[in-house]
Chains A and B, each alone.
Chain A
Amino acid sequence: MKITGAEIFVNALKKEGVDTIFGYPGGVVLKVFDVLYGEKDLKVVLSRHEQGATHMADGYARATGKPGVVLVTSGPGATNTVTGIATAHMDSIPLVVFTGQVPTKMIGNDAFQEADIVGITRPCTKYNFLVKDIRDLARTIKEAFVIATTGRPGPVLVDLPKDVLADKAEFDYPSEVKIRSYNPKYVGNKWQIRQAAQAIQKAKRPVIYAGGGVILSNAAAELKDLAEMVQIPVALTLMGLGAFPGRHPLFLGMLGMHGTYQANMALYKSDLVVAIGVRFDDRVTGKVDEFCPEAKIIHVDIDPTSIRKNIHVDIPIVGDVKFVLTDLIREIREMQAAGETWEAIPRTWHRQIDEWRTEHPLSYEWDEEVIKPQYVIEKISEMAGENAIVTTDVGQCQMWTAQFYKFERPRTFLTSGGLGTMGYGLPAAIGAQMAFPDRLVVDVAGDGSFEMNVQEMATAVIQKLPIKIAILNNGYLGMVRQWQELFFNRHYSSSDLTGQPDFVRLAEAYGAVGLRAARPEEVEPTIRKAFETPRPVIMEFVVNREENVFPMVPAGGANHQMMFGAERKKPEGRLRVARG
Chain B
Amino acid sequence: MRHIISVLVENKFGVLSRIAGLFSGRGFNIETLSVAPTLDPQISQMTIVTAGDDQIIEQITKQLNKLIDVIKVTDLTEKEFVEREMVIVKVSPPAEQRAEVLRTCEIFRGRVVDSSPKTYTVLVTGDDKKIGAFIELLRPLGIKEIIRTGKIAIGRE
**Interfacial residues, chain A to chain B (CB-CB below 8 A):** 118-119, 122-123, 126-127, 130, 147, 179-182, 303-305, 307-309
Contact = CB atoms under 8 A, between A and B. Distances in A.
Given A123-B25, A305-B63, A180 B55 contact: no
A494 B18 CA distance: 38
B66 A309 contact: no
Contacts of B14: 118, 122, 130
B37 interface: no
Given A122-B17, A308-B58, A181 B70 contact: yes
A304 B68 contact: no
Contacts of B68: 126-127, 147, 179, 181-182
Contact of A122 (B18, B63, B70): B18
25 contacts: A118-B14, A119-B17, A122-B17, A122-B21, A123-B25, A127-B68, A130-B13, A130-B14, A179-B68, A180-B71, A181-B69, A181-B70, A181-B71, A182-B68, A303-B66, A304-B62, A304-B66, A305-B59, A305-B63, A305-B66, A307-B62, A308-B55, A308-B58, A308-B59, A309-B59
Contacts of A307: 62
A382 B66 CA distance: 43
A307 B66 CA distance: 13
A126 B66 CA distance: 10
Contacts of B13: 130
A303 B66 CA distance: 8
Contacts of B66: 303-305
Contacts of A309: 59
Kindly state the interface size class of chain B when it binds its partner: 10 to 19
Interface of B: 10, 13-14, 17-18, 21, 25, 55, 58-59, 62-63, 65-66, 68-71
Given A122-B21, A308-B58, A309-B59, 9 more contacts: A122-B18, A123-B25, A126-B68, A181-B10, A181-B71, A182-B68, A304-B65, A305-B66, A308-B55
A123 B21 contact: yes
A184 B10 CA distance: 18
A118 B59 CA distance: 25
A307 B55 CA distance: 11
Contacts of A304: 62, 65-66
Most buried by A among B14, B65, B70: B14
A342 B21 CA distance: 50
Q: Which residue among A127, A130, A181, A303 has the maximum number of chain B CB atoms within 10 Å of its CB? A: A181
**Considering the complex of A and B, which 9 residue pairs feature the smallest CB-CB distances, nearest first?**
A305-B62, A181-B71, A304-B62, A127-B68, A182-B68, A123-B25, A305-B63, A305-B66, A122-B21
Contacts of B63: 305
